[in-house]
Amino acid sequence: HFCCIFCFLFYLCVCLVSLCVCMLSGKSLDSSSLKAQSSTSSQPDTRKQEIIKITEQLIEAINNGDFEAYAKICDPGLTSFEPEALGNLVEGMDFHRFYFENLLAKNSKPIHTTILNPHVHLIGEDAACIAYIRLTQYVDGQGRPRSSQSEETRVWHRRDSKWQNIHFHCSGAPAAPLQ
């Protein structure tokens, strides 16, 4: 039931963003403009696939402990809500750098992540939002295979033909397994 509530709340957020965009642009909001913003729209699938691909690249950088690759994909002013921040809004890259330097870079055990049920919402030409379940498989400190799950939403903005992650929200287990 959590996933249903999560998806409903996500769709509600997209509707509110659509309303704000329409109000700021002076356009009226009708059901057709909401449909154009949803993942069931007739927007080009190629842009949605771009968002899924860049999200996979970002998660691969995390799994590999590659802060340099991660920082290239993220906006320097990245904001986030995540379990590691204990309910606080984090801004900037320093918080994330700590985990790369002290946990991820030192991890020699394999980490495999699967993105399940990605839903991409295109917001104009240069913005998008993706919601998905992140299933992470890893080997714990005793050598046992484990899995953890988190629910994530990422907001992407395209600048100079390059997608950058500007905000994310992660619920559930920490993104990086504590081994």
Count the helix, strand and coil residues of the chain and give each as a percent rounded to the nearest 5.
Answer: 40, 35, 25
- Higher model confidence: residue 178 or residue 100? 100
Phi–psi pair at 45, nearest 5 degrees? -65, -20
Quote the pLDDT of residue 107: 63
E strands within the chain?
Answer: 74-81, 90-91, 111-122, 127-139, 145-159, 162-172
Give 97-150 pLDDT, tens digit per residue. Answer: 999 988 776 666 788 999 999 999 999 999 999 999 999 999 988 999 999 999
Q: How far apart are CA 69 and CA 165, in angstroms?
A: 12
Overall average pLDDT of the 145-169 stretch: 97
Q: Domain 45-172 classified CATH 3.10.450.50? A: yes
Q: Is 145 exposed, middle or buried (0-12, 13-18, 19+ CB in 10 A)?
A: exposed
Quote the pLDDT of residue 94: 96
Quote the pLDDT of residue 109: 75
